[in-house]
Amino acid sequence: MPFYITDPALKPISTKVAAGERLSREDGLTLYASDDLIGIGQMADHVRRRTNGDLVYFMVNRHINPTNICENRCKFCAFSRSKGQDGAYEMTLDEIVKAAEEAVPEGAYEVHIVGGLHPDWPFEFYIDMVSRLRAALPPHVIIQAFTAVEIEFYAQISGLTTLEVLRQLKDAGLDALPGGGAEIFSERTRAAAWDKKTAADDWLRIHGEAHSLGIKTNCTMLYGHIETLEERIDHLIRLREQQDKSGGFLAFIPLAFHPLNTELSDLPGTTGFDDLKTLAIARLMLDNIPHIKAFWIMVGLKVAQLSTVFGVDDIDGTVVEERITHMAGAATPEALTKSDLIGMIRETGHVPVERDTLYNVVRVYDGA
Ligand code: V47
Ligand code: SF4
């Protein structure tokens, strides 16, 4: 496979990529050590084309963050507040259902719900939320809700196991889990910046449990803060190992750290070079995860569009009212229209495919 590679250190990796062989931890570190972004991008594009051809996915969705009141107060989070603090908010069930219903006439196929760990809401509140949403929404609108961190918290407040929490939420109508809360699977970074949050083993176990119940999930990595490149590669390898065991991850989404209004605000945030390289390396390392998603809210529209020739086959959705990254300084718009997304994808020569959360095809935009 003739890749245009200028860094000789990448040559052995390109042989493996062309042969469809799994890359090692050392290969991952070599990729990060290289500044041959075009070479890395070409290899990632090759892998992407092997599975997804010319297709680039997007969706019409709506993000809802029911509360920002959170017991964890991670240092990288600008969204959370303590109870009673200025700027703290909580939505009622009626408001949550109304926000979801408003998305239906806009053509949404997903409501994506993540929030803080509220000290007073009982587990029944979340069961009611999901059952009321399921009753209010047409069956094609998928409820993708609650990170593994939230699932662990519901287990603590209810006295149930995480598996039982997932089972009850599934019975109420939960279809899929988002990939948040993984951060970086390193005890060093966890102790330094999110000490109260779900440990790596527990995050992975909860996703494995969801997969065992037939609940598909996504996975993420928060990068560009205090982590090392070794810790990034180790994170990717742990996700790959979990996928070998339980198989239910649909997409991997690298989340570019936004420092504004956080306790890590002295850090610079990520560069476009690092964003593209991280997306491409993810495509190369995660050979068993079907989709790599660029979350345009975090990497920006320009990098998201460019990333579709660097291994990415999904640019997420219309989103509407994203709070977590915007409170941390994201300069992207709050929402995009469907035609914005189609136009962005078409310009790169790819075929836009509208999907639902589970990557069922809603419509292929292959005509004029
Ligand atoms: O878990 C928090 C991250 C996540 C910041 O599954 C931050 O399809 C950057 O997980 N800078 C929530 N990131 C968002 C998330 C997500 C987004 C889009 C799609 C999917 C999916 C999942 O955002 C949190 C945390 O890791 N986060 N603060 C920040 N300052
Ligand atoms: Fe809470 Fe999530 Fe923010 Fe951490 S990242 S403080 S768990 S809302």
pLDDT of residue 368: 61
Structural domain boundaries in the chain: 55-364
pLDDT of residue 158: 98
Cβ of residue 220 lying under 6 Å from some atom of ligand 1:
yes
What residues line ligand 2, using a CB cutoff of 6 Å? 70, 72-74, 77, 79-80, 116-117, 149, 197
User: How crowded is residue 181: how many other Cβ atoms within 10 Å of its Cβ?
Assistant: 24
Backbone angles phi, psi at 234, to 5 degrees: -60, -35
Mean pLDDT in order along the chain per 10 residues (368 residues): 90 96 98 98 97 94 95 93 95 97 95 97 98 98 98 98 98 98 96 93 98 98 97 98 98 96 94 98 98 94 96 90 82 83 95 97 88
User: How crowded is residue 8: how many other Cβ atoms within 10 Å of its Cβ?
Assistant: 9
Cβ of residue 68 lying under 6 Å from some atom of ligand 1:
no
Q: For the whole model, what pTM was predicted?
A: 0.97
Give residues with Cβ within 8 angstroms of 83, minimum separation 6: 69, 119, 120
CA 255 to ligand 1 centroid distance, Å: 6
pLDDT of residue 243: 98
CA atoms within 13 A on the CB side of 117: 20
Q: 253-298 pLDDT, tens per residue?
A: 999 999 999 999 999 999 999 999 999 999 999 999 999 999 999 9
Q: What fold characterizes domain 55-364?
A: TIM Barrel (3.20.20)
Amino acid at 190: R
Q: Tell which one of 149, 151, 262, 327 to mutate to probe ligand 2, the residue whose CB is within 8 A of the most ligand atoms.
A: 149
| Residue 137 region by backbone torsions, left for phi larger than 0, else alpha for psi between -120 and 50, else beta | beta
At how many degrees (to 10) do helices 148-158 and 200-212 cross?
Answer: 90
Give the number of whichever ligand sits closest to the CA of residue 330: 1
* Residues forming a β-bridge with 354: 58, 363
The C-alpha atoms of residue 248 and residue 237 are separated, in whole angstroms, by 16
Cβ of residue 181 lying under 6 Å from some atom of ligand 1:
yes
Look at strands 361-364 and 351-355 and give their pairing. antiparallel
Q: Tell which one of 222, 264, 265, 356 to mutate to probe ligand 1, the residue whose CB is within 8 A of the most ligand atoms.
A: 222
Q: 65-90 pLDDT, tens per residue?
A: 999 999 999 999 999 999 999 999 99
Atom number of ligand 1 nearest to Cα 183? 26
Among positive and negative, which fits the CA dihedral 208, 209, 214, 216?
Answer: negative
Of 78, 152, 66, whose CA–CA distance to 112 is shortest?
A: 66
SS (H, E, C) the chain: CCCCCCCHHHHHHHHHHHHCCCCCHHHHHHHHHCCCHHHHHHHHHHHHHHHHCCEEEEECEEEECCECECCCCCCCCCCCECCCCCCCCECCHHHHHHHHHHHCCCCCCEEEECCCCCCCCCHHHHHHHHHHHHHHCCCCCEEEECCHHHHHHHHHHHCCCHHHHHHHHHHHCCCEECCCCCCCCCHHHHHHHCCCCCCHHHHHHHHHHHHHCCCEEEEEEEECCCCCHHHHHHHHHHHHHHHHHHCCEEEEEEEECCCCCCCCCCCCCCCHHHHHHHHHHHHHHCCCCCEEECCHHHHCHHHHHHHCCCCCCEEEECECCCCCCHHHCCCCCCECCHHHHHHHHHHCCCEEEEECCCCCEEEECCCC
pLDDT of residue 325: 83
